[in-house]
Amino acid sequence: MPERIGSISELRSAYREHRLTPAELAETVLEGLAGRAGEPVWISTVSAEELRTRAAALTDTDPQTLPLYGIPFAVKDNIDVAGMVTTAGCPDFGYRAAEDAPVVRRLLDAGALLVGKTNLDQFATGLTGSRSPYGSVESVFGGGLVSGGSSSGSAVAVAAGQVAFALGTDTAGSGRVPAALNGIVGVKPTRGLLSTAGVVPACRSLDCVSVFAVDVAGASEVLHAARAVSIADPWGRALPAERFTARAPGTLRLGVPRTVDLEFFDDAGQAVRFAAGVHRLRELVGTVRQVPLAPFLAAGDLLYQGPWVAERLAGLDDFLRTHPEAVLPVTRTVLETGRRYDAVDAFRGRHRLRELRAEVDRWWQEMDVLVVPTVGTTFTLDEIAEDPIGRNAVLGRYTQFANLLDLAAVTVPNGFTADGRPASLTLVGPAFSDTTLARLAAAFAEADPATATTSGTVVAPPIRHDGTPPARTEVLIAVVGRHLTGESRNAELTDLGATLAGAARTAPLYRLYRMPTPDGEGLPGLVRVASTAPDGHPIEVELWSLPASAVGGLLAEVPAPLSLGWVRLHDGRDVLGFLCEAYAAGPDAEDISAAGGWRAYRRAACKEGSPANASCIAGDPS
């Protein structure tokens, strides 16, 4: 198997310690390309002679003087490289670029070594990696899993260890979905921070150049080296000076989607991993609150169900009319829908987007970062072939709103499902929050080294080679209140096939509150306190075994301010369980932690004849 390329930091250390030279690295790169010859990751590569020549030119240069000295990289083939053909995934569209795109030129000037240009969904229209005449790209994890697109080749080249970083583009999620499905980091910067001059437009007003790397630090270094305003780019924007310094994670207010807005498309594995990721983030940030996703999702729907699809057509209309046979049928179908919209529709769409942005902006007054799943589920190439447009839309649910709402985003790995598929989450923030998002993303990755990548190597449990997952296991759920045996919402568990597995106590890290409800019974809420706080209590819980396939259904039924998260048990285990947002434990909530549990509190209330206990009054002494 070809040797993998290390991360940017590993290569830099090797150069500075004289354990590696650019010439030696070039040979490793060439061996890697030869070892994966025939795979549809690359559309074109520089010649071996050119790569060796560029590497040799660095020999007498001090590695300390160039930020990306000898770092090999790839470029998505809708970005111009002087002397190379830009195809945008369509051979008949191809042209030989006269000059480098500004973003490429800055990387070359920083000492990076260009390896070649990568495959993509044709005209950057798609999120699957399967819409290319150069071949469908499979995820680095195999099993028939799609690589994600449209920046499919760039993501796989990084995840497979052929290069240390790669450029993609991102209009609807093309720099995030492939990162998620290949277990790497994807940075979608604020629109305009990286110049889009010399990039074949997909939707010019929304397009971004994105960065793939194996870790957040590497992606951030590339972003810094490539960032500049080009006079050739009317869409360029500079990062304000006051945003150069990132805020510390502990000062941030994290927004978590309300459970009713989360859709995992019956994929319990992704639901469980997202809950785990949110649990880890809670330990890093200052405060957490639930927020509605509805205005974000509504904005995202405008991208393909509104006049912006006509903007996609605007840049390709002449070619599409004169070379219809050169465009893949699925790509042509998407682009041709742009003909449905006129100028009136365009203004109506802009007005609707402005309304949604105003609503979203109000939520940014109450949070600094929003966390979302990068994808709600995954698909195989065969599944995408069955419904190429519908399932493409599923992959874009949590990504396609970002550029319309002028947001920045960083996608990071979030472990693997029980059947070996990659999971991921994305941190989203307002325009120019890029450095703060990167700092939180790096802290998230460091908080769980098991999900991190090293040396460009991404390791996961095996996926079956026929693309079908093994039988899914059951998930243990800790319940603390109305879902307990005999309580009013216990049927929500039993109807989903859950069975009682036993009783337990939490670690002394929680407080239990009774929040008032119209029926007088009260809603119990378990709130985690800081691990260093002295006022945590062990709380009685029941453990229920739930089929993993039913987790998504249960999640959809959990009302705010409750959510599913990870609960630490007295024996040190972490299990999924019902938690309450801290904001709900306000002045009207009764702290019942000292009782040790919901049932114990109810028994005491019955004995005291408390009128607040409606169930006791009804004759339920439990």
The Cα 519–Cα 12 span in angstroms is 64
How far CA 200 is from CA of 45, 77, 97, 101, 155, in Å, comes to 19, 9, 11, 10, 19
Beta strand residue intervals within 2-41, DSSP E: none
How big, in percent rounded to 5, are the helix, strand and coil portions of the chain? 35, 20, 45
The Cα 64–Cα 55 span in angstroms is 16
Beta strand residue intervals within 548-602, DSSP E: 562-568, 574-580, 590-591
Q: Where are the alpha helices (DSSP H) in 93-151?
A: 102-109
Respond yes or no: is residue 136 known to be catalytic. no
Q: Which are the contacts of 568, defined by CB distance < 8 A and separation ≥ 6?
A: 506, 507, 509, 574
Which residue in 76, 117, 136, 210 is the catalytic one? 76
How do 208-213 and 407-416 pair as beta strands? unpaired
The Cα 466–Cα 590 span in angstroms is 54
3-state secondary structure of 141: coil
Long-range contacts of 203-206 (CB under 8 A, 24+ apart): 203/171, 203/303, 203/308, 203/311, 203/312, 204/235, 204/311, 204/314, 204/315, 205/235, 205/311, 206/171, 206/303, 206/308, 206/311, 206/403, 206/404
Which residue in 132, 136, 174, 220 is the catalytic one? 174
Q: Which of 167, 189, 63 is nearest to 116 (CA)?
A: 167
The Cα 256–Cα 292 span in angstroms is 8
How far CA 24 is from CA of 56, 163, 236, 426, in Å, comes to 10, 14, 37, 36
The Cα 163–Cα 99 span in angstroms is 23
Respond yes or no: is residue 188 known to be catalytic. no
Respond yes or no: is residue 545 known to be catalytic. no
3-state secondary structure of 217: helix
For 239, left (φ over 0), alpha (ψ -120 to 50), or beta? beta
Element (H, E) at 257: strand 253-257
Q: Which are the contacts of 37, defined by CB distance < 8 A and separation ≥ 6?
A: none
Which residue in 130, 136, 147, 150 is the catalytic one? 150
Residues labelled catalytic: 76, 150, 174
